[in-house]
Amino acid sequence: MSERAPFPFFVGCGRSGTTLVRAIFDAHPQLAVPDESYFPLTFLSQHRRYEHAGAFDTDRFLADLSADGSFANWHLDLDAVAAALRATPPANVPDAVRVVFATYAAAQHKLRYADKTPVFVRSMPRLAAAFPEARFVHLVRDGRNVALSRVAAAWSTERVDNEALIWRGVIAKGRHDGRRLGSERYREVRYEDLLGEPERVVRSLCSFLALDFDPAMLRYYERSAQLVADLPRPEEHGNLLAPPKTTRDWHDEMSPDDLAVFEAIAGRTLVQCGYERSPTPVPVRAHAYAMARRARWRVRRSTRDLKSAVARRVRTS
């Protein structure tokens, strides 16, 4: 483990509670948690643009950072980042990324920082290698409620079968990589446990992240107005302005057909995560449909992964 203070990454399938966790931990007086970043992986994949001949190209890094859409959502003064980078010249991309996060934390009058980018659940090994101090908190929520929430979102695929495949894949990837990282660097938290016993769960995570628990964390909603206002889609996060509560219940909201399809695709994963399946048996036709969808999904994922690998080779060649 690194001697640096832990660098927390809050990850998980979208709509699993990562924004709630961000609000809770951003309420800590020592920890700043900016909006979703994305750019660390982009810069890591293009590290040869900045690292060469034993030096780091700060000007190029700053130019690329200023053009990054996710960084723009931080509302952070680029001149402050530039001054910090020149005051302590980085040796490599991870050092430069640390400076960006530290500058954001300093702007919030805080000493430490964390990241909340849910899709990083698919890249934990890479981030763990780049940042030895990284610790990952994987938020897991009942996939049926995740699907309901995602289908209702403006950016949704609007298909429960797609959402079941996404949730199943994210959970499998996160848990597999988490086991390999080990308990010192990976912690899995169920969204339902966070809602049911917030103080116990938050205290446990504080210990994992080497933070002292602060009661203000459980009153995050008293100071969330600005955090919500700065989000790309603030209308989707009004629940952060009040004490936490369950907003979706598949028992009442999911149709029998959608429930059958979801459990045919991801029922085993539900059980592995400690959730009970519906008492209604899944029809044979739903199992057949699920098998066909999983097969098509694997082909699509394999094709996409191949294209991504080729693109990375081109960028780094």
What is the pLDDT, as a whole number, of residue 291? 73
What does the chain come to in residues?
317
What is the pLDDT, as a whole number, of residue 1? 44
How does pLDDT run along the chain (317 residues), one tens digit per residue? 458 999 999 999 999 999 999 999 999 999 999 999 999 999 999 999 999 988 999 999 999 999 999 999 999 999 999 999 999 999 999 999 999 999 999 999 999 999 999 999 999 999 999 999 999 999 999 999 999 999 888 676 678 998 999 999 999 999 999 999 999 999 999 999 999 999 999 999 999 999 999 999 999 999 888 888 888 788 777 788 888 877 789 999 999 999 999 999 999 999 999 999 999 877 667 767 677 777 776 767 666 655 555 455 545 45
Dist CA 150 CA 163 (whole Å):
7
Q: Can you name the residues that pair with 299 across neighbouring β-strands?
A: none
Contact 15, 149 (CB under 8 A): yes
The single-letter DSSP state of residue 42 is H
Domain ranges of the chain: 7-246, 261-316
Q: Which of the following CATH numbers is that of domain 7-246: 3.40.50.2300, 3.40.50.1100, 3.40.50.410, 3.40.50.300?
A: 3.40.50.300
Query: Cα-flanking dihedrals φ and ψ of residue 87, to 5°?
Result: -70, -35
What is the pLDDT, as a whole number, of residue 312? 52
| Cβ neighbourhood burial of 309 (10 Å; 0-12, 13-18, 19+) | exposed
CA distances from 286 to 256, 258, 260, 281 (A): 11, 9, 6, 10
Instruction: Please give the single-letter amino acid code of residue 61.
Output: F
Residue among 159, 158, 164, 169 nearest 287 (CA): 164
Dist CA 124 CA 9 (whole Å):
9
| Cβ neighbourhood burial of 104 (10 Å; 0-12, 13-18, 19+) | buried
Instruction: Please give the single-letter amino acid code of residue 140.
Output: V
Dist CA 147 CA 282 (whole Å):
18
Residue 229, Cβ neighbours under 10 Å: how many?
A: 9
HEC readout, 123-152: HHHHHHHHCCCEEEEEEECCHHHHHHHHHC
- pTM, two decimals, is 0.89
Instruction: Enumerate the H helices of the chain as residue ranges.
Output: 18-26, 39-45, 58-66, 69-72, 78-87, 93-107, 124-130, 143-151, 160-181, 191-196, 198-208, 225-229, 250-253, 256-272, 284-316
